[in-house]
Amino acid sequence: MAVVPSPFRPRKKGENSTPSRLAVPAERAIEHCRVFVDGEALPGEYTPHSAQDAVKEYGRGFVWVGLHEPLESQMTKVASEFNIHELIVEDAVQAHQRPKLERYDDQLFMVARSVNYRDHDEVLDKRQIISTGEVQMIMGADFLITVRHGAKLPNLAYVVDGEQDLVELGPVAMAWKILDMMVDRYSEIAQLISDEVDEIEEEVFTPRQKFNIDRIYTFKREILEMKHAINPLSVALKHMISDHKDLISKQIRSYLRDVHDHELVVKDQVANFDERLTSLIDASVAKVTMQQNSDMRTISAVVGMWAAPTLVAGIYGMNFDRMPELHWTLGYPMAILIMVGVVTGLFIWFRKNDWL
């Protein structure tokens, strides 16, 4: 199955943002620092300080700073440039947070989780089928800071190229664009998983079709991981739409409502996948049990057919001098004939009762 390229990179095992004792310049964590004025990105990269000076000089616009897994010292330095609340700094450094929306005075802090999918035939570790990352967004009146942990964000200056009306709405509009991209990726992955679940269902419910029950358990576990990543986002989006109207314009709230609707659709799809896989586990266990019962009946039938000639042979193998037909000329052929007749009769009876 072809895999849709993803703009989000999964976190690799062992990656961490543990602070180092060495002083690492904040610039090393900055991937992009751009200035947007009148809906367009000014050419070139800036430092956080020079970017704010440019916004002040134009008297309008905002700054976008993209960070990749910053250390605490790096995040603190960037935060000091934009007067970011210290609690946001602490959360931004730590990864593996649930999707959420928090407000600190006139700043909003949003956490969303990215989801990436790889075909189960292309991974060695089945836990890598569904992998998640984290994107954090700090929104102020004239700045947007994105922090990614185990996720990949494109350069927003190119993503929103040609969407001046959108960009003019400010940093929250850029945050909406990021959320819209992430939810669209959720939908793509949901479609890929739907195809996989349909394939598993066909294998389980096709008579005499072999299937791998471990594959069902694998997808069940991966679906739960995706469920934990996207379900809390609906609550954060709901608060973003209904609250903080002084910071989020009506037009942006309408865009966010559309993202929320799409997220709810994916949320329902994932819940449906979870229920279907649970049903498939029950069905597969029942099918395996029935197959085992059928195998046991077949084994019992074969043993029963062998028991009849064994009984005859055992009786006439006791070597008593006085036994019926022991010295009869036709005794041996008759014993063989009885054995064949009994086995044939048992075979016909077992076949009639579907034991063979």
CB 113, CB 132: distance < 8 Å = yes
Which residues in the chain are classed under CATH 3.30.460.20? 26-286
Looking at CATH, the fold of the domain delimited by 295-353 is given as Methane Monooxygenase Hydroxylase; Chain G, domain 1 (1.20.58)
Q: Which residues pair with 42 in a beta bridge?
A: none
Of the ranges 34-43, 113-122, 152-161, the best mean pLDDT one: 34-43
CB 108, CB 102: distance < 8 Å = yes
Q: Which residues pair with 102 in a beta bridge?
A: 109
Q: How far apart are CA 3 and CA 19, in angstroms?
A: 35
Give the model's pLDDT for residue 123.
53
Element (H, E) at 111: strand 107-117
The answer, yes or no, to whether residue 104 has pLDDT greater than 70, is yes
CATH dotted code for 26-286:
3.30.460.20
Q: Tell the residue number behind the tokens 């942990």, with chain if given.
A: 149
Q: What is the pTM of this model?
A: 0.73
Q: Tell the residue number behind the tokens 């471990």, with chain if given.
A: 214
Which residues in the chain are classed under CATH 1.20.58? 295-353
The answer, yes or no, to whether residue 17 has pLDDT greater than 50, is no
Give the model's pLDDT for residue 259.
93
Q: How far apart are CA 63 and CA 149, in angstroms?
A: 21
* Tens digits of residue pLDDT in 188-213: 989 888 888 888 888 888 777 777 77
Q: How far apart are CA 111 and CA 232, in angstroms?
A: 10
| More confidently predicted of 293 and 121 | 293
* Tens digits of residue pLDDT in 275-299: 888 888 888 778 777 777 777 777 7
